[in-house]
Structure 1
């Protein structure tokens, strides 16, 4: 199909390339009547290239690498990468971008290590926040280099300060865990606190668990994200919480944890409308991530197999090379989880 005049063109480059389909648009004419081109980008398939060209024509932007700002690179990165990310990852990048306001209107090719370093050095938030800002810079430069918007990665020179902050996470005590069990049939959603304590799930992972991935008869389920080792990992179910998970599973619902309408619950709603209410009613002072810290502490105190603990929690390591679990692997995970009393 012939494209309209002035619309741009899509064509395949020669040789073996990871992204062989090029997209370019006409940006002007030479004195002798020849067209001037700028490349929009390179894509794996023709449909993706055509989609990128259509998006550009719907909302044209300056293609000159010398004029593209930090904000424009971020917006392009966001449009392409956000749909493939978890909500928590999107929130992290958005927060990091908002804390980089001094860079927003700068031309991307004019940004140097000192500009990014200043943002991090002047950030008055936690070490974790500063680390997320650096991750954003790393990802933007990777994206920019893939699309020929820059030729040097200055983000790799940015340094993080030493993390001198003590962890604010504190595990639940045995008395507090017993208190949760005492009220498990009296207060809504206390079961979710216990599920996290006995699985090591991150709170953001809890609300992503789908019922179809739970195998009650095998006492395990698949879930998790954030790291390569943590994504879609097998998590054994402790006998103590098996009935809690079974009772929460509703064949009409896609997710294990849902809102009052039976739809997926966001972490924001879970934390502000469920977690805080439980902590207030039981007079406890904990944040959701304390459950994961509690799990790690309990497993370590029980003398559980170290490799099994890392696999259950989704921690990467030299001895965790893939996400393939054999029947024997799952048996080992169950043995490890059953060390908890």
Structure 2
């Protein structure tokens, strides 16, 4: 009999080599657990179950074989039993509501107040899909909700924007492959062009104001400053600088409108003084009434003055048009209107046919 380690001769039946002491008889253990059933490791007084999780390909392009652990078992048998058949990990799929909570507490807070209001309204229109798992949403679901809740362009656009913000997060977390909101089709944009008041109508407003209708002063203020109705609602007396003929702090929506002063002509200063005296607001607002009272009073004043019943926003279009007809430089008109781009200002200028005839006649006279 030869030793398997030092190869020297050993007596038959000996269990150990008399020369090197190596064990001569080798017993092969029978494997009692199959592959993939995990194992158990003793840690202190308890046992820990260890098993292999599904393999995956990482960002490095390599195949990874992750292992999972769970400790606290009193016996090895219990740990092995758990490792051989671990419970399936249930992955909770988030909903639109959950993503909205995240967005509402982060990026949403950086938006302007008007945008926040518009998106809050849009979010309420998604109520039918609030709690549906993101992975179960389809383009048809999104389109159907938009079609049901809206029929015009801008509300539908706000719904699409809100959904897009939420679904982008789902894509980033791997719950969706693509932002499905991008496939929402919006209703056609039927943007009706606002009409400015004419020069004759402005004279009628002055006549009505001179005759004692103080409310018409608010209309004249909007016409001569390009102020939006929303800016009139927040205008306070301490925002007015009568020495510089400027108003600061009433700008809304865009950064340009917030930072650029509203300028008013000297002719409107007495009107503005009277409006400040006319207001009884305890918070020093120049307009001492809410929106529900303002709009009926506005339309009453317009009709009594003998003018067309145009919406308040037409006053702002009147400003730009009057400046353009007065041959004011485009850059100056843009600054008065507080627009970032002149292409926006152009949408507020509405020369009538008479102005067009006068312009071409002036060109003809100059060329002769």
2:259 maps to 1:232: yes
2:152 maps to 1:126: yes
2:287 maps to 1:258: yes
Alignment-derived partner of residue 203 in structure 2: 178
Q: Which of residues 225, 245, 256 in structure 2 aligns to 1:199?
A: 225
1:86-235 equivalences under 5 Å are 88-108=114-134, 110-111=136-137, 113-121=139-147, 125-140=151-166, 144=169, 153-156=179-182, 158-163=184-189, 165-185=190-210, 186-222=212-248, 223-235=250-262
TM-score, structure 2 as length reference: 0.56
Tell me if structure 1 keeps the 8 A contact 2:123–2:159: yes
The 1:215–1:123 alpha-carbon spacing in structure 2 relative to 1, beyond 3 Å, is same
2:305 maps to 1:278: no
Alignment-derived partner of residue 313 in structure 1: 337
Q: Aligned partners of 1:296 and 1:169: how far apart in 2?
A: 12
The 1:127–1:246 alpha-carbon spacing in structure 2 relative to 1, beyond 3 Å, is same
Q: Aligned partners of 2:293 and 2:170: how far apart in 1?
A: 38
Q: Aligned partners of 1:313 and 1:137: how far apart in 2?
A: 33
- The count of residues paired between Structure 1 and Structure 2 equals 253
Q: Which of residues 46, 71, 94 in structure 2 aligns to 1:32?
A: 71
- Report which structure shows greater RCO (CA 8 Å, sep ≥6): 1
Deviates most, 245-254 or 201-210: 245-254
Deviates most, 304-313 or 249-258: 249-258
Give the CA RMSD over aligned residues. Answer: 3.8
The 1:139–1:288 alpha-carbon spacing in structure 2 relative to 1, beyond 3 Å, is farther
Q: Which of residues 268, 275, 298 in structure 2 aligns to 1:248?
A: 275
Q: Radius of gyration: which is bigger?
A: 2
Query: What's the CA shift string for 1:136-160, capped at 9, x where partnerless?
Result: 3345457x57996977644455454
The 1:172–1:109 alpha-carbon spacing in structure 2 relative to 1, beyond 3 Å, is farther
Q: Aligned partners of 1:294 and 1:318: how far apart in 2?
A: 16
Tell me if structure 2 keeps the 8 A contact 1:199–1:236: yes
Query: What's the CA shift string for 1:205-239, capped at 9, x where partnerless?
Result: 11122322221111112231212222232121122
> What are structure 1's unaligned runs of at least 5 residues?
1-29, 34-63, 260-264, 321-341
Tell me how far 1:118 sits from its aligned partner: 3.9
Q: Aligned partners of 1:240 and 1:65: how far apart in 2?
A: 69
Tell me if structure 2 keeps the 8 A contact 1:197–1:294: yes
Q: Aligned partners of 1:258 and 1:80: how far apart in 2?
A: 34
